[in-house]
Chain A
Amino acid sequence: MTTIAFKSGVDDAVIDELRAIIGDDDRVLPNTSSRVNRTRVPAPFPVHRWADYMPDVAILPKTAEEVSEVVKLANRLRIPVVPRAGGTGLSDGAVARRGGIQIDCKLMNQIHEIDLVDRTVTVGPGINMLKLNEELRKHGVFYPDDPASYPCSLVGGRIGTGGWSLLGARFGHTRDLVVSMQVVLPTGEIVEIGEGGGRKLRKSSTALNLKQLFTGHQGTLGITTEATLELVPRPEVEFAAFFAYEDYMSAYRTLGDLTKSGLATLAGVVLFDEWKIAYLRRDDEAYIPQPDNVRAVIAVAMYGTRAEVEPASKIVMKLGRHNGGRYLGDEISAGDWASRHDRYATPLHGRDKNGQAVMMSWHCEDAALNYSVLPKVREEWHAIVERYREQYGIFDDWGMFAYTSGPHKPWADYLVEIDIGIWESRLNEENWQGWVNCKREIAEVSLKYGGSITACHGATREGDAHLVPQEMGSAWEVVRRIKTALDPNNIMNPGQQSFDEFYEEGA
């Protein structure tokens, strides 16, 4: 057996106290395997420094009361608490920076109530959306929070990260689909947070509107222990169409045409840039034998009643072809759209400089950007990655996507991603720092063009985190006051998003 030292104030006495609170030793896990396997989230991860990011002990709570007592203990002893749901986030929000107690909410995965009259479902934070929707289907409703991690992420994490949904232009994102929630504050109180008073209210003007504050905080303001979610009518039909363009700008113009079309059932539009198409040709099952003049692609999907979607689909086909677009065909349109719900970057799509397939981890760098800046950002981002690829040899450019991102507003800003392959098994301290620098440069470009360094993943990864004060600008002081008021002892996921500076001497 191996032993790896605790990093925080956790010791045997603390573990005994935790066992007394939880009352079930199988749910208090200080053993090495439990810590090792609750460290990382999806790649990339500095494997050579694994022990640095391990929690000291993992708790699997069943109730809000258990969470509350654990948080109170952590406050009393100044021990960090790290909330974790699925651990499928792409920005290390659920990674322990300073050891501490990880609160792993997967056992809280029950459906507590389905209300078909007032149209809500109330669940624990440990439930996955696909599993939830499997249960909801027989009632003719669904919960359309649909990220690339749809089959594996959990509701608690979606709230913590302020997630983005592929269908957001139609149905909204996590923050629009969560009606209210129960939260354990950093000081241990259990509170009800919503738009207003009632658990099932969507719109209110009483006191302060707190719901958005507790969505997307990256686990730094508390732990969601129950959530009441929106029930949306199950769509009658889905329509998806893919179009190919000979150049990026034609696709880009089509993106603008589609998103400003006013079609109400539009659920999502995706722009694939030239680097992304080149990357996809590696796994040429989809694109073989697509001709070389397929350089950029637009994918568009609609959901709704047949009466609305069918006529709208004809307009979409016209708009898709307007700038020289060619329809990729029914088979690709249907097959590729269906695969978007578990979009995933296969490690073996990585290529070394000789074109050999090597397992690379996928980092998805996300930003929120307005339409006008998309072409320029694309150029600058690719140039940055190319420079780092040349220098370090372990990175690979897997291309960019731009997705509609405004909730219920296709014409609004875009989730823009550049997918970078990293040869994880070759990481060492030097090229890891190179990686962090690359990320920072990419994030700085987003800020330069009036964007945000993260649309949905969170600014919790090295390379992003220290830019948070710059992005928040004058609002940073407001953030400081709220964070320090709610978490006076800096125990709730400390070390994330540069919030530590609020607690420094003289802060």
Chain B
Amino acid sequence: MPDDGKLGLDGNGYDPNRDGDLQEQFVEQWRTNAYGCFSSGHKFCREVCPVMQVTRNENHTPTAFHASIVAMEKGLVDVADVADDFVHCTQCGACELRCPNTLFTGDFYRHRTRTVDVVKAMRALMVATGNEREGWKLWNERLAEYHNEPVLGEVPVLQEHVRDWAEGLDIPIGGETILFVDCEAAYYRTSYTRAFAQLLQKAGVEFGLMREQWCCGGPAAEMGYVDLARRHAEHNVADWRAVGAKRIIAPDPHDYIAFTEDYPRYFGDAYDFEIVLGVELIDELVKEGRIQLTKPIERVVTYHDPCRLNKRKGVHKPPRDLLRAIPGLELRDVDHVTQWSYCSGGGAGLPIEKPEITAEISNRRVARAQSLEVDTLVSACPWSERPLTEAGERADEPLEVVDLFELLAESAGIEVGGQTRAPQPEAQA
């Protein structure tokens, strides 16, 4: 779905070859989006924003993100003035969904609030104008070098180890169906990936791995490194084509968003792959009986709706159906609309620049789970599981955090293997 840049959908935001000040181009491109919010300014977004719930600082509101663009147009602020504000966002999508311009009339006018795109575009402007953040700069330099997110801190994430998680599983390279493995899941929380892969194998689904898997590029785009993101996308698509892939299975919600939102913008109509969301596939396999959940799991759990499944994609039913299908499991649910205001704080680079805010967001998520008197918090996104796990350990009464696929695999009688965290001590990126 090519975007001619007319309405500011393009992740880039501007063409550096054009004459004119970059900031001016940016304002011109995002003006309509900015006024879409500014003309209202009613702030229905504020209380659902996970960052706002912690900082209570108006600068961090989606309202401020849009108003700052209008202020830029009026010459009241420039990029340097607002750069730090725009760091304060996990791109969870709660605000842009909750905004009445989306929720009540976004479909009617084919014009909705797009805070995620606005934040990404501003961060790209920050990179282009010498207003980069130090932590993100270092993170993405490492991404550029190793082509996977530096999820192991000081330990480089080498390409030669990108498939180590699959040891003993005999997964071939290539084929029509490719399993895409997220960086966090390939190097850090390998239990997630082993669980998912073995569930597919148990169901008799044929799939292969990439010859050379690079990061999907999504996080780079979220932090404003647009060229880097695009290079990774081009590499991955070339790799898919080279092995004749038609279908990509994406268990991780972040990858699913990259493949269904970013990649179509890069490649247009030529992008003819089928993208399958992992949790929907597993849900279908269980309902068809191709995966049998036979081993009881005696746990009392509550489910964390990952932002990039629930708010960004509207996927909230399959995980709950799956949890209810596990024998012995008691699910104490919090509905998916209430969870529009929940988050782990792990997205869009926030843990790199503002780890204390991510930690507090996760602390609160864990506290909410604990108020239900459960012994386990189940998530369906590996990026959420790291901050949630750490918060669970910090809590006065420790709470265990597991991934949905890990639980399903256990109930399917699979010996998952792998690890839920990397053994090396983590250094700051």
Contact = CB atoms under 8 A, between A and B. Distances in A.
> Does A touch B (CB under 8 Å) in the complex?
yes
B42 A106 contact: no
Contact of A345 (B32, B38, B40): B40
A43 interface: yes
A131 interface: yes
B71 A34 contact: no
Interface centre among A33, A45, A106, A345 (most CB of B within 10 A): A33
A138 B104 CA distance: 29
A358 B425 CA distance: 55
Contact of B56 (A51, A109, A285, A357): A109
A43 to B, nearest CB: 6
A391 interface: no
B56 A361 contact: no
A275 interface: no
Contacts of B100: 342, 344, 346
A359 B47 contact: no
B81 A41 contact: no
B81 A359 contact: no
A44 B40 CA distance: 8
Contacts of A131: 47
Given A36-B68, A347-B40, A130 B57 contact: no
A25 interface: no
B64 A425 contact: no
B158 interface: no
A2 B68 contact: no
A299 B74 CA distance: 42
Given A151-B44, A360-B39, A47 B70 contact: yes
B36 A359 contact: yes
A152 B46 contact: yes
Nearest to A153: B43
Interface stretch (B105-113, B267-275, B276-284): B105-113
B130 interface: no
* Among A36, A60, A339: residue with most chain B CB under 10 A: A36
A86 B41 CA distance: 11
A362 interface: yes
Contacts of A345: 40
Interface in A132-167: 134, 149, 151-152
Contacts of B32: 359
A361 B57 CA distance: 24
Contacts of B71: 36-37, 50
A33 B23 CA distance: 16
B1 interface: no
B29 to A, nearest CB: 16
A51 B42 contact: no
Contact of B101 (A29, A126, A346): A346
A23 interface: no
A290 B383 CA distance: 48
A47 B40 contact: no
Given A36-B68, A50-B76, A424-B38, A60 B59 contact: no
Contacts of A104: 58
Most buried by B among A1, A344, A347, A360: A347
B75 interface: yes
A208 B300 CA distance: 56
Interface string B160-201: 000000000000000000000000000000000000000000
A361 B75 CA distance: 21
B81 A32 contact: yes
Contact of A342 (B44, B56, B82): B44
A107 interface: yes
A29 B57 CA distance: 10
A43 B70 CA distance: 14
B42 A33 contact: no
B44 A36 contact: no
A78 B281 CA distance: 67
Interface in B53-111: 56-59, 61, 63-64, 67-68, 70-71, 74-78, 80-82, 84-85, 100-101, 104-105, 108-109, 111
A32 B57 CA distance: 14
Contact of B43 (A36, A86, A347): A86
A87 B35 contact: no
A37 B59 contact: yes
A470 interface: no
Contact of B67 (A36, A357, A359, A362): A36
Contacts of B42: 42, 88, 149, 152, 344
Interface string A171-197: 000000000000000000000000000
Contact of A134 (B40, B85, B338): B338
A107 B53 CA distance: 9
A497 interface: no
A4 interface: yes
A283 to B, nearest CB: 6
A361 B77 CA distance: 22
A98 to B, nearest CB: 18
A283 B80 CA distance: 40
Contacts of B59: 29, 33-34, 37
Nearest to B86: A33
A285 B107 CA distance: 10
Interface in A3-62: 4, 29, 31-34, 36-38, 40-43, 45, 47-48, 50-51, 58, 60
Contact of A31 (B61, B81, B104, B111): B81
Contacts of A342: 44, 100
B44 A344 contact: yes
A29 B55 CA distance: 13
B104 A40 contact: no
A398 to B, nearest CB: 13
A107 B35 CA distance: 28
B62 to A, nearest CB: 11
Contacts of B75: 2
Contacts of A36: 67-68, 71, 76-77, 81
A348 interface: yes
A149 B109 CA distance: 23
B104 A361 contact: no
A42 B70 CA distance: 14
A126 B46 CA distance: 12
B338 to A, nearest CB: 7
Contacts of A68: none
Nearest to A359: B39
B47 A128 contact: yes
Nearest to B67: A37
A149 B74 CA distance: 28
A378 B47 CA distance: 36
Given A37-B68, A283-B108, A152 B43 contact: yes
B96 to A, nearest CB: 15
Contacts of B64: 33, 37
A134 B335 CA distance: 12
12 contacts: A32-B77, A37-B63, A37-B85, A41-B41, A48-B74, A109-B56, A130-B47, A285-B108, A346-B105, A360-B39, A361-B39, A425-B39
Interface of A: 1-2, 4, 29, 31-34, 36-38, 40-43, 45, 47-48, 50-51, 58, 60, 86-88, 104, 106-107, 109, 126, 128, 130-131, 134, 149, 151-152, 283, 285, 339, 342, 344-349, 357, 359-362, 424-425
Interface of B: 32, 35-36, 38-47, 56-59, 61, 63-64, 67-68, 70-71, 74-78, 80-82, 84-85, 100-101, 104-105, 108-109, 111, 338
Given A36-B68, A359-B32, 15 more contacts: A33-B82, A33-B84, A34-B58, A34-B59, A36-B76, A37-B58, A37-B59, A45-B41, A104-B58, A285-B108, A346-B100, A346-B109, A347-B36, A349-B105, A357-B109
5 closest residue pairs by CB, A with B: A347-B39, A106-B56, A37-B64, A344-B100, A359-B39
